[in-house]
Homo-oligomer: A and B are copies of this chain.
Amino acid sequence: MVATTLRSIKSLVPLLDRVLVQRVKAEAKTASGLFLPESSVKELNEARVLAVGPGGLDKDGKRLPMGVSQGDRVLIPQYGGAPVKVGEEEFTLFRDSEILAKINE
Contact = CB atoms under 8 A, between A and B. Distances in A.
Interface of A: 1-8, 11-16, 18, 20, 24, 26, 42-46, 53, 57-62, 64-65, 67-68, 75, 77-78, 82, 84, 93, 97, 99-105
A59 B59 contact: yes
Contact of A11 (B20, B84, B104): B104
A75 B12 contact: yes
B68 A4 contact: no
A4 B75 contact: yes
Nearest to A93: B100
A27 to B, nearest CB: 9
A62 B61 contact: yes
Contacts of A18: 100-101
6 nearest A-B residue pairs (beta carbon): A11-B105, A2-B45, A13-B102, A15-B67, A14-B101, A12-B101
Contacts of A6: 46, 103, 105
